[in-house]
Amino acid sequence: MKILYVAVDTRIPDSHGGSVHVQELCRALGQRGHDVHILAPKGESELSTDERDGIIRDGSVRLHHIVKPIRYFEWTATRHIRRLILELRPDVLVERFYTFGGAGIVAANLEGVPAVLEVNSPARPVDRLWRDRLDRLTIIRPIHRWRCRILRGCNGIYATSRYLLPPEMQNTVTLVTNGVDVARFKPGPVEREKGPLKCVYISSFKSWHGAEDLVRAVALCRSRGVEICVTCIGSGPTWKSATRLAKRLGVGEDIKFLGAIPFDKVPKHLAEAEIGLAPFSPSKFSPLELGWFWSPIKLFEYLAAGLGIITINLKELRDLLPDSVARFYKSGATEELSMLLERFASNPAEVALLRKKARELAESDYTWLHQAGTVEQLLERVQAN
């Protein structure tokens, strides 16, 4: 099957979650025998060796760059996409949903190509978002009408959560979580060396990622004489405040803030750790008022690297992560988080068991090839109809 995957708001290559998702899912579809073409803006970094091998040289995936449209005007890319459709003659078009996107769906409709929408962010109004508050003040509701047009124009939808779709569409969506390349992310030694508990925290340092909660929990551990070493990977809005807080609380030596690093360097740091941390604060992210729809790629990378996981106690996360691989605490409860860290620091046998089960779960349920298989089934149904 020839697939045109459109992501006009996602730069490729890049190391952020959306870019990783596009690259890995399309590569997995290519590995499953499909001819995949990606249309996306060019990333700010050069392709690494792994990315060149995976995206360009394997012969099943081709990357086509588009000049990134002005923000909020991504929907104007229809003409460019139509030209590419006429050149490639794809069997199906997949577009990564973006509120101000939709050009791929429109172009596919105009050229008579079956269209599938991939939904990773809300495709319905969110009361506390400025764009939806402003939209409700208008008579014609342009944002709402445009979203409805995109949803009506597709022949199939897959999403990380039903909560992302309007209630009347939630029973028709195919659920596909994010995944991981288990060949890229591999466990390090399971036996604990002497020294502090080694943890890793991957984040784009948004307000709801809980960086400050993590710093405070490490400080509580230090006050009790518990040795913890945390490597923080990534950067973002709360990076500076988290680093300042770490220095103020006296744990600047216990927490290493590496900043943003190339994606192909991430597996090495995970292989050196024992525990992966995901201290989310969903109350600080207004779209999550719809329900927990997030499918953080880092959780699956932690699993593939054979890391036990500490994260917040939510049903959706418990559905993804059984007790055999993770421990849970109440969001915002830094004392509870610190107690879990202390427990792991003093119980290497428990950590070793979690790590073994984590890798097994990644291999059985969360490879990108596994997720691509679910997408493939939907695309085949759409093409057949």
Tens-digit pLDDT profile for residues 115-126 = 999 999 999 988
d(CA 150, CA 102): 6
> How many Å from the N-terminal Cα to the C-terminal Cα in the chain?
14
Give tens-digit pLDDT for 322-373: 999 999 999 999 999 999 999 999 999 999 999 999 999 999 999 999 999 9
Residue linked to tokens 């060396």: 193
| Tens-place pLDDT, residues 195-233 | 899 999 999 999 999 999 999 999 999 999 999 999 999
pLDDT band at 89 (very low <50, low <70, confident <90, very high): very high
The SS3 of residue 207 is: helix
* Identity of the amino acid at 115: A
What are 35-44's pLDDT values in tens digits?
999 999 988 7
Confidence of residue 45 (pLDDT cuts 50, 70, 90): low
Q: How far apart are CA 134 and CA 376, in angstroms?
A: 38
- pLDDT above 70 (res 234): yes
The CATH number of 2-179+367-384 is which of 3.40.50.300, 3.30.930.10, 2.40.30.10, 3.40.50.2000? 3.40.50.2000
> What is the three-class DSSP state of 174?
strand
Residues 260-271, mean pLDDT to the nearest whole number = 93
Q: Residue 130: is it exposed, middle or buried by C-beta count within 10 angstroms (0-12/13-18/19+)?
A: exposed
The model scores a pTM over 0.85: yes
Tokens 């577009």 appear where?
Answer: 95
- Confidence (pLDDT) at 23: 92
pLDDT of residue 337: 98
Query: Residue 296 carries which DSSP code?
Result: -
The span from the CA of 122 to the CA of 117, in Å, is 12
Q: Is the pLDDT of residue 57 over 50?
A: no
pLDDT band at 54 (very low <50, low <70, confident <90, very high): very low
Q: Give the pLDDT score at 164.
A: 93
Q: What is the residue extent of each domain of the chain?
A: 2-179+367-384, 197-365
* Max CA distance (Å), the chain: 66
pLDDT number for residue 193 = 66
State pLDDT tens for residues 159-192: 999 999 999 999 999 999 999 999 999 999 877 6
Assess contact for 285 and 71: CB atoms under 8 A.
no
Structure tokens at 329: 């605490």
pLDDT in tens, 13-29: 887 788 889 999 999 99
Instruction: Report how far apart, in Å, the C-alpha atoms of 300 and of each of 55, 202, 203, 239 are.
Output: 21, 12, 14, 23
Flag whether pLDDT at 56 surpasses 50: no
Contacts of 161 (CB under 8 A, 6+ apart): 175, 291, 292, 293, 294, 295, 316
Encoded tokens for 122: 């809300």
pLDDT at 277: 98
Per CATH, 2-179+367-384 and 197-365 having the same topology is answered: yes
Alpha helices in the chain (DSSP H): 17-31, 49-51, 78-88, 103-111, 130-136, 142-153, 211-223, 239-248, 266-271, 297-304, 315-320, 334-345, 348-365, 368-384
Which of 3.30.565.10, 3.30.70.1140, 3.40.50.2000, 3.40.640.10 is the CATH number of 197-365?
3.40.50.2000
pLDDT in tens, 280-322: 999 888 888 888 888 899 999 999 999 999 999 999 999 999 9
